[in-house]
Structure 1
C-alpha cells in the first residue's frame, strides 16, 4: 500500500510537471513583435500575454491590439484572462474534448482591455508573427470625444438648423428602411423550425445563426455594392422628400426634445470614447457643467477680479501720441465738414457770425482748414521746440571727447 501511494504521488508530480511545461508564456508590456516558424516536433505552445497598465490620464485615448500577421485565415485563436484558461481552451479544442461546431470566427486584429491582463494563443500550421500594437493617442477616440463635446455645446443651435434636420432625417430614413427590409425577409424563415432548433441546440445555435446572418449580410454587401448604392440613394431621396414635406420643427418643445436627444448622444459618445471610464465620465460632467454654468456667476467673478486686480494702463509713447493726435484731429475735421454740409447745419446763420465766410466755404468744400501762413508758423514752432530740448548724454560725451582731444593736441 505504501508503494502504491508513492507511485500515485510520483504520477501526479509527473503530470503536474508536464502540464507546467506544456506552454511558454511571453509577457508583453509594450510594443513588440514575435515571429514564429512551423515546428512540428515542438511539444509546447506559445501564449502571448499583455500585462496591462495602471490607470492614469496618459491612457485616456490609448488603444492596445494584438495583430496576427499570417498569409491566410487558416488559424484559430484563444483568448483568456490568464495562461491557464487559454491553455485549457487550446487543449480542449485540439483533442476534441469539447467539440464546438459554432466556434467564433478568428480575427487578425484583436482589441484588448488596456487595464486588464489578457492572454492569447494561436493554433496554425503557417508561419506567422504576433505584434502587440500600443497606440498612445488613438485619433479615433480623440475625434469621438471632440464630437461628443461639440454635440453638447451646439445642441441648441443644431436643434433649429434645417440642414442638420435634413441630414438626420436621411440617416434615420435609410436605417429604418434596412430594418423594414430585414423584417420582411425574416418572415420567410420558418419560425417553428427555428424555435425547435433553439430549444434543442441552446444558445450556441442562436449565436451560430446570428454569425451566419451577419456573414451573409457582409457577403451580400460585398457582392452587390452597386445595387446597395442605388438602394441607399433612393431611400435617402425618399427620406429627404418626407422631411421636406414635414419641415423642420418650429415648436419650442419639439426643439427642446431634439436638443436633449443630441446632448444624450454626446454624453454616450464621450463616455465610450475611452476605456478609462472614470476619466471619460469626469470629462462628461465637466462639459455639462461648463454648458449650464450660470453666466451671472461668471460675470460676478470677472468683475470681482478686475476690482481686486485692476489692469495697469499702458502709457503712449511720443510717436503714438502724435500719431493718435493727427488721426483724431483728421477724424474730427471730417465729421465737422460732414455736419456743415448737412441740412441740419444752418450755413447762412453760421457765415454771418464768421469773420472770413469764404474760408469757411472753402473748408466745407474739402480744402484745408489752415492757410499757408499758419502752416509756416506751426512748422517754425515745432522746429524751435525740437531744438530747445536738453542735449543728450551721448552728445555731451561727444563734446567732452572733442574738447579732450583738443587739449591733448595743445599739449603736443
Structure 2
C-alpha cells in the first residue's frame, strides 16, 4: 500500500525459485548451542545468468538501497556479478537481509538457506592448535621459514602489482581512484581472486603458472638471502607471533563464542601448566 517492495522471509531447508528481483530477509530465532561449534549457516543463490546480490542487516537498509545516491551507486558497482553467490550468516545475527537484482530478463534463480557441519572451520581450529602448541618448534624450523616466506611473497606481490598499476594508470581514469582508495580495495581485489580461483586456474593457468614461478623464485631468493632467524630474541618474537596467530585461529574456527573463549583459555592453561605445577612442587618442598 505504501509502495514498499515485499520482503520474502527465508526459512532453513526451503528453496525459493523466482524469476524477478526481490528482497529477502532471514530472522534468526534460534540461539547458538554448544553443538553448533563448527556449524555453518549460509544463504546460497544459484541463477541461470549473472545477477547482483547485496547484503544488509535490516529491512530499513533494504529500503535505503532503493533510494538513489552516490553511496548506493558505488556499492552497486563494487558488488561483483555472479551466478553462484554464497553469503555466510552469523549465528548471533538477529536478522540478515539481501537484495537480488536481475541484470537480464528471463533470468531464473533459486535461494536456499541451509545449516551444516563445516569441516573448514574444524581445520582452522586444528591449525590454531598446531600453531599455538608448536610455535616454539616452528619458529626454529627452516622448512616452515621458507614455506611461510614464499607464501607471504606470493600474496605481497599481488599488492605490489596493484600499487604499480595505480602508479602507471592515468590520473583521470576512474579506476585510478579506486586503486588508490586504500588497502581495503586491494584486499577486496584479493578476495575476488580467491573467490574465482577455480575459474582462473582453468582459463588462465599459463599466466598463473608463470606468476607462481616468478614470484615464488623471487620470494625463495629473498628468504635464502636473509636466512632463517638465528637471534634468540627474533626467534622468541616469531614464536610469540605464531602462538598469537594460533589463538586467533582457535577462536575464529569456533562459531559459538563462549566455546571459543573457553578453548583459548584452556589452551593457555594447558600450555603454561608447568609453571603452577612447579610452584606447587616448590611450595610443597
* Partner Cα separation in structure 2 for residue 248 and residue 66 of structure 1: 44
Aligned equivalent of 2:214: 234
1:128 aligned to 2:128?
no
1:171 aligned to 2:154?
no
8 Å Cα contact 1:25/1:46 also seen in 2? yes
1:214 aligned to 2:189?
yes
8 Å Cα contact 2:49/2:108 also seen in 1? no
Aligned partner of 1:77 among 53, 61, 64: 53
Higher helix share: 1
How far did residue 148 of structure 1 move? 0.6
Aligned equivalent of 2:253: 273
Structure 2 counterpart SS, 1:109: strand
Q: Which sections of structure 2, spanning at least 5 residues, go unmatched?
A: none
Structure 2 counterpart SS, 1:32: coil
Aligned residue-pair number: 263
| 1:79-112 CA-partner distances (Å, limit 9, x unpaired) | 33344543x246x26xxx5575431235522111
Q: Which runs of 4+ in 1 moved over 6 A?
A: 215-220, 298-301
In the superposition, the TM-score normalised over structure 1's length comes to: 0.54
Structure 2 counterpart SS, 1:126: coil
* Partner Cα separation in structure 1 for residue 115 and residue 152 of structure 2: 36
In the superposition, the TM-score normalised over structure 2's length comes to: 0.75
8 Å Cα contact 2:32/2:92 also seen in 1? yes
Q: Which sections of structure 1, spanning at least 5 residues, go unmatched?
A: 1-14, 305-412
In the TM superposition, 1:57-68 aligns within 5 A as 57-68=34-45
Rg larger in structure = 1
1:288 aligned to 2:268?
yes
Aligned partner of 1:33 among 7, 15, 40: 15
How far did residue 24 of structure 1 move? 5.2
Root-mean-square deviation (CA), in Å?
A: 3.8
How far did residue 67 of structure 1 move? 1.1
* Partner Cα separation in structure 1 for residue 275 and residue 264 of structure 2: 20
8 Å Cα contact 2:23/2:97 also seen in 1? no
More off after superposition, 46-55 vs 149-158: 46-55
8 Å Cα contact 2:15/2:110 also seen in 1? yes
* Partner Cα separation in structure 2 for residue 238 and residue 123 of structure 1: 44
How far did residue 221 of structure 1 move? 5.6
Higher strand share: 2
In the TM superposition, 1:67-216 aligns within 5 A as 67-73=44-50, 75-86=51-62, 88-89=63-64, 92=66, 97-98=68-69, 100-102=72-74, 103=76, 104-107=79-82, 108-116=85-93, 117-124=95-102, 125-135=106-116, 137-191=117-171, 193=172, 210=185, 214=189
